[in-house]
């Protein structure tokens, strides 16, 4: 009976161990980033954990097919974006709507209160900043998903427009168009919400 070569995997156990080791490296290096992305995208921590789980499960399955043409993080963002779409389809959310640029561009003649704080926050303004951050996430989650994904990837995760396009399968031009609408929408929600708070004049403009 011929002796088994030491390199030969015994009933796949060695191969499995290699896969788990490769997965562990991937998981350890990227789970924080993916959870942050998932939270920004989903809003709730539970949904974010589901998305992280779905993302790394898909990543595990296709780990051996990964080609280093894109960075690992871009590859994971792409998997997460697809997983997010699958999860939403299962939940049968409301139909996607378009954001009209004309409706979002403010009328120059109208009043445009500047109520988003600057960088120089005083201690008491930090509390207001915390509230503002809540308002920001609320505004981001009111965005239709295709706009939200672009805003989160570009302005929160810091990806270039080209990489966002690679993740979402869009041209750079389409990314920039969606990004502009998304930013205007969030700005409108933030300023509108602040303006609606009667009797609470804001002094955190920093101007």
Partner 1 sequence: MTTRRRTTRTPHRHSTAHCRKILRTISGYLDNDLPKSMCAEIRKHLGACPQCERVVRSLKRTINLCKRADVARLTASDKTRLRKEILTAVSRL
- The C-alpha atoms of residue 192 and residue 103 are separated, in whole angstroms, by 14
Q: Does 117 bind partner 1 (CB under 8 A)?
A: yes
Q: Which range, of 6-14, 82-90, 130-138, 162-170, touches partner 1 by CB under 8 A?
A: 130-138
Using the rule CB under 8 A, which residue among 9, 93, 106, 169 binds partner 1? 106
CA pseudo-torsion sign 96, 101, 107, 111 = positive
Whichever of 4 and 98 has its CB closer to partner 1, that residue is 98
Q: At closest approach, how far in Å is the CB of 1 from partner 1?
A: 31
One residue of 145, 180, 193, 202 binding partner 1 per CB under 8 A? 180
Residue 98 backbone dihedrals phi, psi, to 5 degrees: -95, 150
Question: Which of 64, 86, 97, 133 touches partner 1 (CB under 8 A)?
Answer: 133
Spatial separation of the C-alpha atoms in residues 44 and 14, rounded to whole Å? 38
38 close to 80: Cβ distance less than 8 angstroms:
yes
Name residues contacting partner 1, limited to 145-174 (CB under 8 A): 151, 155-156, 158, 161
Q: What b-and-e string marks burial along 88-109, b requiring 16 or more CB atoms within 10 Å of the CB? A: eeeeeeeeeeebeeeebeeeee
Q: Are 179 and 154 in contact (CB under 8 A)?
A: yes
Binding footprint of partner 1 on the chain (CB under 8 A) = 20, 23-24, 27, 31-32, 35-36, 39-40, 45, 49, 52-53, 56-57, 60-61, 101-102, 105-109, 112, 114-119, 132-133, 136-137, 140, 151, 155-156, 158, 161, 176, 179-180, 183-184, 186-187, 190-191, 207
């Amino acid at each position: 009976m011929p002796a088994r070569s030491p390199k030969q995997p015994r009933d796949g156990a060695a191969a499995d161990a290699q896969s788990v080791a490769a997965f562990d490296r991937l998981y350890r290096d990227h789970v924080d980033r993916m959870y942050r992305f998932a939270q920004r995208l989903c809003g709730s921590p539970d949904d974010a954990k589901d998305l992280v789980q779905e993302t790394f499960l898909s990543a595990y399955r296709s780990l051996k097919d990964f080609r280093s043409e894109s960075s690992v993080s871009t590859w994971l963002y792409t998997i997460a974006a697809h997983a997010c779409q699958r999860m939403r389809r299962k939940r049968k959310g409301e139909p996607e709507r378009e954001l009209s640029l004309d409706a979002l561009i403010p009328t120059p003649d109208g009043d445009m209160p500047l109520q988003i704080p600057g960088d120089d926050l005083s201690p008491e303004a930090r509390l207001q900043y915390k509230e503002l951050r809540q308002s920001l996430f609320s505004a981001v989650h009111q965005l239709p998903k295709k706009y939200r994904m672009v805003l989160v990837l570009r302005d929160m995760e810091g990806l270039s427009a080209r990489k966002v396009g690679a993740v979402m399968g869009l041209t750079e031009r389409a990314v920039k168009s969606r990004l502009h609408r998304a930013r205007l929408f969030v700005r409108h929600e933030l300023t509108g919400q602040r303006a609606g708070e009667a009797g609470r004049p804001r002094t955190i403009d920093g101007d």
